[in-house]
Amino acid sequence: MNKLTKIFCWLSGLVISLVLISILGDIILNSLESFNLTFLYQVPMSAGRRGGIYPIIISTLLITGISTLVTVPIGTLCAIYLSRHYPSTLVFKKFIKRMIQVLSGVPSIVFGLFGNAIFCTFFGLGFSILSGALTLSCMCLPLFITSVEEGVSSIPDEVIHTTHSLGFSLYTTFKSIVLPLAIPSILSGLVLSVGRALAETAALIFTSGYVDRFPESLLDSGRALSVHIYDLAMNVPGGDQNAYKSSMVLIGLILIINSVFNIIAKIISKEGQLYE
């Protein structure tokens, strides 16, 4: 029975690896032949059939960066509140956790309609990078909060009790003890959140828009890479080649960002064995 379970585990891992390899292989084979570095710093031409994706990359990085800046402080504070270390009303905590669970299951297209109604229309931001970033923050918060809460909750109660016995305030305890210990979990949540933000399409169609020019401000419309790939593949005849090349750039961005966060997490884990 143990051997059979082990075989199924190996087969499951093999299937997942083959799926990933087939996706990457298809994208690389269809884009590598005509790919060159000029594609990264040229502007799109002829509806994206020709030229590059420089404005698209800038818009993508702006949307992702602003979304991260909004998600991290709000998500971290919420995760601290939900951790068992923070004294609060149990009923209210359960209510917030239930709402987070519901939010994590909401389809991205619904977030897009919500962002369009609230940020674009109600707050008057229009189709803009800021509207898209705030909408993505709403999408990323459940995943980020769950990841950080698990990290904060895993800290032994003895650490918190020791700081209390030394007369530390709750603010000092979390700022100087809890948050440094929870940094690996925060980085893990960032990896997942940034990956989702970079790959999101449906929500950005209704909030950041389709404009493929260089954004002049955060209130200017901007096209993300995922939206650009969708538009080239579905709406632009003859855009398949640039859609493949844009896909390779998007996957490269995700891999680079994930690798950077993983390296930082490993460094912090080695240097920050504070309570071991």
State how far the Cα of 81 lies from the Cα of 8, in Å rounded to an integer. Answer: 40
pLDDT tens-digit readout, 232-263: 888 888 888 888 999 899 988 888 888 887 78
Residues with Cβ within 8 Å of 123's Cβ and at least 6 positions away in sequence, in order, are none
Residues with Cβ within 8 Å of 251's Cβ and at least 6 positions away in sequence, in order, are 24, 27
State how far the Cα of 82 lies from the Cα of 195, in Å rounded to an integer. Answer: 24
Residue 105 has pLDDT above 90, yes or no: no
Position 154 confidence tier, pLDDT thresholds 50, 70, 90: confident
Give me the CATH topology for the region 54-271. Answer: MetI-like fold (1.10.3720)
State how far the Cα of 136 lies from the Cα of 8, in Å rounded to an integer. Answer: 37
The secondary element (H helix, E strand) that includes residue 97 is helix 90-104
State how far the Cα of 197 lies from the Cα of 128, in Å rounded to an integer. Answer: 16
Largest CA distance in the chain: 69
Neighbours of 39 (CB within 10 A): 18
Q: How large is the C-alpha radius of gyration of the chain?
A: 22
CB neighbour class for 204 (10 Å; exposed up to 12, middle 13-18, buried from 19): buried
State how far the Cα of 97 lies from the Cα of 32, in Å rounded to an integer. Answer: 45
The pair of structure tokens assigned to 23 is 């996706």
* End-to-end CA, the chain: 37
pLDDT tens-digit readout, 4-25: 888 888 888 899 889 988 988 8
Give pTM, 2 decimals.
0.87
Q: Where are the domains of the chain?
A: 54-271
Residue the block writes with tokens 């609060």 = 88
Do residues 164 and 86 make contact, with C-beta atoms less than 8 angstroms apart? no
State how far the Cα of 5 lies from the Cα of 213, in Å rounded to an integer. Answer: 54
Give me the pLDDT at residue 274, please. Answer: 44
pLDDT tens-digit readout, 180-218: 878 888 888 888 888 888 888 888 989 998 888 888 889
